[in-house]
Amino acid sequence: MAATLDVPAKSLVRDAATGVLHAPELARFATVLADAVGGVLETGRVPLVLGGDCSILLGNALALHRRGRFGLLFLDGHAPHTPRWA
């Protein structure tokens, strides 16, 4: 089963309390994604979610949290940063 979810348009409005950009849109999309991931979990399958930034974790974590104990594997496409000491 494959699905594509419509990603909300990003706004340049920062949340006054947290400083997070487009916080309401992120919260709404996290709920939509959690519902979609939950639907896959209900069939007994393991969902694979591909996204464009770290905010994609919010909906996945919510879907799993709704079910109690869970595990989440997250792979980041950035190369690891090796600190250089002076």
Q: Which domain holds residue 37?
A: 23-65
Count each helix (H run) and each strand (E run) in the chain, helices first: 2, 0
> With 80 as the cut, is the pLDDT of residue 59 above it?
yes
pTM value is: 0.78
Tokens at residue 12, please? 């340049």
For the chain, what is the domain count?
1
Q: Is 11 inside a domain boundary?
A: no
Task: Look at 83 and 9; give whichever has higher pLDDT.
Answer: 9
Q: Is 78 inside a domain boundary?
A: no
The mean per-residue pLDDT over the stretch 51-71 comes to 88
With beta carbons less than 8 A apart as the criterion, state whether 60 and 71 touch.
Answer: no
Residue 54's pLDDT is what? 83
Q: Is 4 inside a domain boundary?
A: no
With beta carbons less than 8 A apart as the criterion, state whether 60 and 34 touch.
Answer: yes
Q: Mind listing the pLDDT tens digit for each residue in 29-48?
A: 999 999 999 999 999 998 99
> With 90 as the cut, is the pLDDT of residue 12 above it?
no
